[in-house]
Structure 1
Amino acid sequence: MNKKTILLTSLIILLTTAACGFTFQIPRFMGGETPAPTAEVRVETVPASPQVTLPAVPTLSSPPDISGLSYTERDALLTALYERVSPGVVSLLVENEQGGSTGSGFVIDRQGHIVTNYHVVEDATEVEVDFLFGLKVRGKVIGTDLDSDLAVVKVDVPEDVLVPLPLGDSDQVKVGQTVIAIGNPFQLNGTMTLGIVSAKGRTLESLRQAESGSFFTAGDIIQTDAAINPGNSGGPLLNLNGEVIGVNRAIRTTGTTITGDPVNSGIGFSISSNIVRRVVPELIANGKYDYPYLGITSRSNLTLRMIEELGLPRQTGAYVTAVTPGSPADRAGLRGGSRPTSFTGLPAGGDLIVGIDGKPVLTFDDLLSYLIKNKKPGDTVTLTIVRDGQEKEVNLTLGKRP
């Protein structure tokens, strides 16, 4: 998947698009050959202990409530927050065979590791990292994860110029909570925007394609109305304590600029910090991250008519439309739909997953978020399913995504 694919927008239908895509043309690449779609991202691994850990979440009080503050007090709080946090946010200037693009990132530790999006550095031949205080250095991509759309870039700079940003606990984030985004929209470095958490537990399409041609799903996504635009991708979404609670990834929009770039419509998506906490240490240590794998296809947002035609005994749960042959779900005996209905691609007769390890599953998003945040390949989970009107438990050993 190249950046033109990621940046494609439509004026007819709603779509989700990566937010990094402020593109530019580098003259020496103009007129060059278009690389094959299967071009491999160059990932360099570095010797590191498999016990890599990120800085612990600091013990901070709950983020302050700014609703009762005067304008002067509110301004002082936000100004102080920006001055403290912005030195840890960087701009990325990426060259590749298509030309180039810009994005954002942030410092995660004093060893020079920068967190950003995979789609920001995809197919990179050179990465320039610009700090807000003026320092410009070259960086090296040392790990990428297509499923979460995360990547790590390493820079070689003195420790005293690095300002690591602490990761917060995204499980504690509440809908309605005030958040800020700092990044480099349209190459406007160090831009700060303010908004709220609009929703939690969203899913987006992964950038990893399955053998069937469809794409895997990325989960535990935070939705926000903080303004996110092309160039913001990879930058931090922060609470008012200055903790990173998400990595800005994409926006949903029908609007474009005169140059065809997508514009903010108040619906932005960020990878939760607890996903970052699981994935990034593995990217630093091994250059990749293996996700737990069930091997099912599920249809989200079933309407009442669909539920009735499927004959489901309840309105909540993750309905299994198909099971991948040879997958962990197949070996455990899970069933996908097999009888046609009036809804295209929605066969009846599949299992309804209503629980995992004793926790309720209201939607497929719940199931996916639980697996991604808590499990790894080789772990065993207990699924509670409803089949033919009867509830039963199925034990399943997770694989890793192919």
Structure 2
Amino acid sequence: MKKFANILLVTIFILSTMACSFSASYPFSSSTDQNPTPEIVQVATRVPDIQEPQNSNTVTYNPNLLDLMNREGLLISLYERVNPGVVSIQTLSVTGGGLGSGFVFDKEGHIITNYHVVEDATELEVDFPSGYKARGSVIGRDIDSDLAVIKVDVPEELLFPLSLGNSDDLRIGQTVIAIGNPFNLSGTMTLGIVSAKSRTLSSFRQASTGGFFSAGDLIQTDASINPGNSGGPLLNLNGEVVGINRAIRTEQTNENGEPTNSGIGFAISSNIVGRVVPYLIKDGFYDYPYVGITSQEDLTLMEREALGIQEMTGAYIISVTENSPASKAGLIGGSTVTRISGLLAGGDLIIAVDDRPVRLFSDFLSYIMANKSPGDEIVINIKRQGEEMEVPVVLDKRP
């Protein structure tokens, strides 16, 4: 089973970045073919009953209808308040055109989007809901979390910055809203929930082992996200940005081969955004903390039995990178052959970091990325041959 030998900085499923160039007859498109008109299915919806009592001039409304009207009013108000701060991004590169989304960060003309939206762009423009269009330049890039900052020269009265919320306060099942530019349909609003937290994806930073570092603290949502949504905001019902839409997991494509929504989308947490973006504006880059271990998200019961691990939770250290902070602190990876091919026993099991329980590897990674910087010290609680130990580790920056 080669999966244990692979660096776990790479996710095991197919992920499609949302700002992929796609063939359509839009500005900057590399193809002149027209998209066929999509099939529109009319759906009849039963209107809730309005009951009028006999011999009475009073009309009693169905409470479900009132709830629906209140919800509808909230969403309309939120959209009208927030949409002026959401932008569409058009890019031009040597391979053709691309689409993305973004949002206004401040009154100085800083626009936040995904790194992959502008990665290969030779020219880009930012289109505002008012109709105003401006050229933009990329002043900051973060290849670890997939963030970028664009600077535009726009009159201040046309800039409507969106507020960042606290993504740590999100709860599974909470309502979230995505606004963006899917398939060049600017100002599109979709609705969903927080499906999960602390997910991990591959970053764009390659490790010395040949794999890729992981990005952590991602929000999973079922709000509809499609090509062109990348870089747009994921919002709570207060209109605060709690995430930046980044990718979807899908095996579905349309007639042009473009990935389509499957109900599993991922957004960069607003707490990562709030931590990173000021550095991108000031320095153009951000250094993420580095530990130097290889792990996998979880272990099956069979794998735990083969490793001789009694605990049902925790992040198992498969390997430790030489001369890394983990190596210098004395953490160890697996070295003894087991009955499962490629799975080596004898590695440390991380059970907590800074007194925070670690159930999965993503718990460990998300905490480090969202809360720590190079030079900080963390205390890792491990189990080694049945004995619990505390190991202080001084973090470095990712190489």
Range of TM-score over shorter length: 0.7 to 0.9
Give 1:115's match in structure 2, choosing from 85, 103, 112.
112
Q: What's the secondary structure of 1:270's corresponding residue?
A: strand
Rg larger for: 2
- In the alignment, is residue 286 of structure 1 matched against residue 283 of structure 2? yes
2:366 alignment partner AA: S
- In the alignment, is residue 354 of structure 1 matched against residue 347 of structure 2? no
Deviation digits for residues 361-394 of structure 1, max 9, x if unmatched?
Answer: 1111111111111110011111111111111111
CA-CA distance at 1:339 after TM superposition: 1.3
Q: What's the secondary structure of 1:23's corresponding residue?
A: coil
CA-CA distance at 1:122 after TM superposition: 0.3
- Mapped to 2, the partners of 1:290 and 1:100 lie a distance apart of 30
Mapping 1:332-343, distance limit 5 Å: 332-343=329-340
- Mapped to 1, the partners of 2:342 and 2:167 lie a distance apart of 34
Q: What's the secondary structure of 2:75's corresponding residue?
A: helix
Q: Is the 8 A contact 2:293 2:320 kept in 1?
A: yes
1:154 alignment partner AA: K
CA-CA distance at 1:28 after TM superposition: 9.9
Q: TM-score, normalised by structure 1?
A: 0.85
CA-CA distance at 1:232 after TM superposition: 0.2
Q: Is the 8 A contact 2:89 2:99 kept in 1?
A: yes
Change (3 A) 1:244 1:29: closer
- Mapped to 1, the partners of 2:168 and 2:258 lie a distance apart of 32
- Mapped to 2, the partners of 1:284 and 1:28 lie a distance apart of 28
Deviation digits for residues 2-45 of structure 1, max 9, x if unmatched?
Answer: xxxxxxxxxxx9522111124248999979xxxxxxxxxxxxxx
- In the alignment, is residue 247 of structure 1 matched against residue 240 of structure 2? no
- In the alignment, is residue 308 of structure 1 matched against residue 305 of structure 2? yes
Change (3 A) 1:305 1:248: same
Q: Is the 8 A contact 1:328 1:397 kept in 2?
A: yes
Q: Which runs of 5+ in 1 are unaligned?
A: 1-12, 32-66
Give 1:176's match in structure 2, choosing from 151, 160, 173.
173
Give 1:190's match in structure 2, choosing from 172, 187, 199.
187
Mapping 1:1-400, distance limit 5 Å: 14-24=13-23, 70-400=67-397
Matched pairs, number: 356
Q: What's the secondary structure of 1:195's corresponding residue?
A: strand
Q: Is the 8 A contact 2:317 2:332 kept in 1?
A: yes
CA-CA distance at 1:89 after TM superposition: 0.4
- Mapped to 1, the partners of 2:133 and 2:168 lie a distance apart of 35
Deviation digits for residues 280-329 of structure 1, max 9, x if unmatched?
Answer: 00100000000000000002221000011101131111100000011111
Aligned-pair Cα RMSD in Å: 2.0
Deviation digits for residues 80-106 of structure 1, max 9, x if unmatched?
Answer: 111110010000001112112100000
Deviation digits for residues 139-198 of structure 1, max 9, x if unmatched?
Answer: 010000011000000001111110000000000011101111000000001000001110
Moved over 4 A (4+): 24-31
Q: What's the secondary structure of 1:82's corresponding residue?
A: helix
2:380 alignment partner AA: L
Change (3 A) 1:358 1:69: farther
- Mapped to 2, the partners of 1:285 and 1:174 lie a distance apart of 32
Q: Is the 8 A contact 1:180 1:192 kept in 2?
A: yes
Counterpart in 2 of 1:43? Answer: none
Q: What's the secondary structure of 1:70's corresponding residue?
A: helix
CA-CA distance at 1:234 after TM superposition: 0.2
Deviation digits for residues 83-137 of structure 1, max 9, x if unmatched?
Answer: 1100100000011121121000000110000000000000211111000110010
- Mapped to 2, the partners of 1:247 and 1:72 lie a distance apart of 28
Change (3 A) 1:28 1:77: closer
CA-CA distance at 1:353 after TM superposition: 0.8
CA-CA distance at 1:352 after TM superposition: 0.4
Change (3 A) 1:299 1:94: same
- Mapped to 2, the partners of 1:332 and 1:350 lie a distance apart of 14
Q: Which runs of 5+ in 2 are unaligned?
A: 1-11, 32-63
- Mapped to 1, the partners of 2:123 and 2:333 lie a distance apart of 45
Counterpart in 2 of 1:58? Answer: none
Q: Is the 8 A contact 2:298 2:361 kept in 1?
A: no
1:204 alignment partner AA: L
Q: Is the 8 A contact 1:24 1:101 kept in 2?
A: no
CA-CA distance at 1:342 after TM superposition: 3.4
Change (3 A) 1:257 1:97: same
